[in-house]
Amino acid sequence: MSSSAPIAGHPDLTEMRMRYERASETPTAQVADGFTVLGGLFVALSPWITGFATTTPTLALNNLVIGLAAAVLGISFAAAYHRTHGIAWTSPVLGVWTILAVFVMSGTVMTTSTVLCNVIGGAVLILAGLGTMAPAFATRAST
């Protein structure tokens, strides 16, 4: 067994936590986290708002799962950025999939409202995800 000190006693740990705490308190991060939650909820509810839940049930289920996942991510970014910053890249990926899913999963049943909901919801998730990632990159560049 190794006799090294536990990570909790590492001198850089406190400084790293403070850096991520400062990053999460920036207006950019707070707005991005809020838009991630709202974008996720929009994607989750869009099949029932616009009425494509009955015509494309697989896309509706996809949107529900992806939207709820994005909303939970946004809440976790806002609550514990220092612990969740490492998975901030997943929000833009969920946004890209939301845009692509309407073309992959709906087949020939696409309507304008279905495409618009997924493209707008996906774009919000991409931009909010990039905004969530920005403060962490800014703090790394400045140190």
Domain for residue 143, yes or no? no
Give the total number of structural domains in the chain: 1
- What is the tens place of the pLDDT at every residue in 51-64? 888 888 999 999 99
The reply to whether 6 falls in a domain is no
As a whole number of angstroms, the distance between CA 87 and CA 59 comes to: 25
The domain of 78 spans 12-138
Q: What is the spatial distance between Cα 75 and Cα 63, in angstroms, rounded to a whole number?
A: 18
Classify residue 121: in a domain, yes or no: yes
pLDDT tens, residue by residue, 61-85: 999 999 999 999 999 888 877 677 7
Local structure of 26: helix, strand or coil: coil
**Prediction pTM value:** 0.79
Helix 27-50 with 90-105: angle, nearest 10 deg: 20
**Domain contains 5:** no
